[in-house]
Copies of this chain bind each other. A is one copy, B any other.
Amino acid sequence: MEENLSFRLAVRLFKAEKAFGPGIATLLRTVEQTGSLQKATEAMGMAYSKAWKMIKEIENVWGFPLTYRDIGGKNGGGSSLTPEGRFLLERYELFTAIVSQNCCELFSKYYSEDFYEELKIVSAGNREVE
């Protein structure tokens, strides 16, 4: 029981609506890597229409474009991040990396061997009462 407990952390930014989160971050990062929204959605196994909708929603919240759109017609063009899109992505990745590192340290503290020892004591006390 002791060895395989781990944590996952999800941080989301909100304005009145959701402003940024793991989904849009992964999508933008994959667009950056593949140079194409089409290729990014294929790599992620995500519907193109869903990705496009996600980008539009976040763009509406911030008021600027996150990606330059395909140019050159069917399969001819690519996509890349706008400077603002790249800035938002990089800031989010930095923020969540530090939060995650902090969380990791706190996890080690609050779910250390002591946690399992205390759980055993609580559990043994409970069986005695029964």
Given A9-B10, A122-B84, check contact A103 B107 (CB 8 Å): no
Interface residues of A in 79-123 (CB under 8 A from B): 82-84, 87-88, 91, 94-95, 98-99, 102-103, 106-107, 110-111, 115, 118-119, 122-123
Copies of this protein in the assembly total 2
Contact partner of A91 (CB less than 8 A), chosen from B63, B95, B110, is B110
Instruction: Verify if A50 is at the interface (C-beta below 8 Å from B).
Output: no
Instruction: Verify if A71 is at the interface (C-beta below 8 Å from B).
Output: no
Contact partner of A6 (CB less than 8 A), chosen from B13, B82, B91, B115, is B13
Given A7-B13, A8-B11, A115-B91, check contact A106 B99 (CB 8 Å): yes
